[in-house]
């Protein structure tokens, strides 16, 4: 059974081979490659920190541009939705 993820949130997810569970959460910024199993909140924090010019060496112009145009895509309600879906446990 394939996992039903809202269309606007699919880009934040990497599914298992069987498509029934989230394997990792991914940054949608082209060329970034950041993935994590810590949860969707970690992706949200990654985007916020990388898009903030006051964060020194963490700052990335590509993330800032992405956040300016897509900043409302991963709000707290969306993080909760993604967190409620089946996912790989950190122990795996």
| Residue 89 located in a structural domain | no
pLDDT tens track for 11-66:
999 999 999 999 999 999 999 999 999 999 999 999 999 999 998 999 999 999 99
Residue-number span of the structural domain to which 77 is assigned: 7-84
Query: What's the number of domains the chain is made of?
Result: 1
* CA-based R_g, the chain, Å: 13
| Residue 91 located in a structural domain | no
Give residue 92's pLDDT. Answer: 54
Q: What is the pTM of this model?
A: 0.89
pLDDT tens track for 59-87:
999 999 999 999 888 999 999 999 999 99
Assess contact for 22 and 87: CB atoms under 8 A: yes
CA distance readout (Å), 80 to 30, 61, 68: 24, 27, 22
| Residue 59 located in a structural domain | yes
Residues 87, 29: Cα–Cα separation, whole Å: 22
């Amino acid at each position: 059974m394939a996992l039903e993820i809202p269309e606007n949130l699919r880009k934040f997810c990497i599914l298992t081979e069987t498509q029934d569970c989230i394997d990792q959460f991914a940054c949608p910024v082209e060329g970034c490659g950041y993935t994590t199993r810590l949860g969707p909140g970690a992706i949200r924090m990654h985007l916020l920190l990388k898009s903030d010019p006051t964060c020194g060496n963490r700052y990335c112009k590509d993330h800032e541009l992405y956040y300016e145009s897509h900043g409302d895509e991963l709000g707290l309600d969306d993080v909760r939705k993604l967190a409620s879906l089946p996912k790989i446990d950190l122990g795996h």
